[in-house]
């Protein structure tokens, strides 16, 4: 069994890209200088991967561009469907932090045999001091190394989908128990 695991591992490293699904969230918000509102235009994921000099093979797909407080059940079904259908077994999802753990729980119930890592940002990437680049670096690393399952990667750590909450006072993610 140990041997077969190594074989699978080698295949993943060599032939299989990491799938990145974009859903919006603070991560990709921009400042509209005409009305002073934050809004979505395009994802900045490619800029971040370039800045990080990333050579990880990735397949990027934008599923939606929404504030996670406005994410519907249908949106979450779509995300789950896409995770299930895609060929890749390592998946990173960029997601608003407010309901990231809700989506993680749904994916945990539905998806088997894939390593899914949700991440996001507390500060938009377009701002000077965003945590987005740090989070993306850690999410891609966790996606390459963690066993199949659904995880939240924030604050430099990873959390199992069924044991994580966002502390609304501190903005930090933490274990429930």
Point out which residues bind a copy of itself (CB under 8 A): 26, 29, 31, 33-34, 36, 38, 48-49, 51-56, 67, 122-124, 126-131, 133-142, 144-146, 153-158, 168-169, 171-174
Considering the complex, state which of residue 80 and residue 91 has its C-beta at the smaller distance from a copy of itself. Answer: 91
**Burial class for 52, CB neighbours closer than 10 Å (0-12, 13-18, 19+):** middle
Considering the complex, state which of residue 78 and residue 155 has its C-beta at the smaller distance from a copy of itself. Answer: 155
Q: How far is the CB of 96 from a copy of itself (least distance, A)?
A: 9
Contact 53, 95 (CB under 8 A): no
What is the rounded CA–CA span in Å between residue 18 and residue 125? 21
Q: How far is the CB of 94 from a copy of itself (least distance, A)?
A: 14
**What are the structure tokens assigned to 58, written together?**
């990735």
Q: How far is the CB of 117 from a copy of itself (least distance, A)?
A: 9
Place of tokens 């069924």: 162
Is the Cα dihedral 150, 156, 13, 50 positive or negative? positive
Q: How far is the CB of 153 from a copy of itself (least distance, A)?
A: 7
């Amino acid at each position: 069994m140990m041997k077969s695991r190594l074989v699978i591992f080698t295949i993943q490293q060599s032939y299989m890209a990491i799938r990145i699904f974009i859903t919006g969230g603070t991560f990709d918000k921009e400042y509209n200088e005409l009305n002073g509102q934050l809004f979505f235009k395009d994802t900045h994921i490619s800029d971040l991967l370039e800045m990080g000099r990333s050579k990880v093979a990735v397949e990027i797909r934008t599923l939606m561009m929404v504030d996670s407080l406005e994410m519907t059940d249908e949106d979450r079904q779509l995300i789950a469907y896409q995770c299930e259908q895609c060929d890749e077994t390592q998946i990173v999802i960029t997601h608003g932090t407010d309901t990231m753990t809700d989506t993680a729980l749904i994916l945990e119930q539905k998806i088997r045999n894939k390593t899914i890592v949700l991440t996001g940002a507390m500060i938009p990437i377009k701002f000077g001091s965003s945590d987005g680049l740090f989070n993306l670096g850690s999410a891609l690393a966790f996606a390459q190394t963690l066993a199949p399952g659904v995880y939240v990667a924030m604050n430099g750590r990873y959390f199992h989908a069924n044991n994580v909450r966002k502390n609304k006072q501190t903005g930090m993610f933490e274990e429930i128990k």
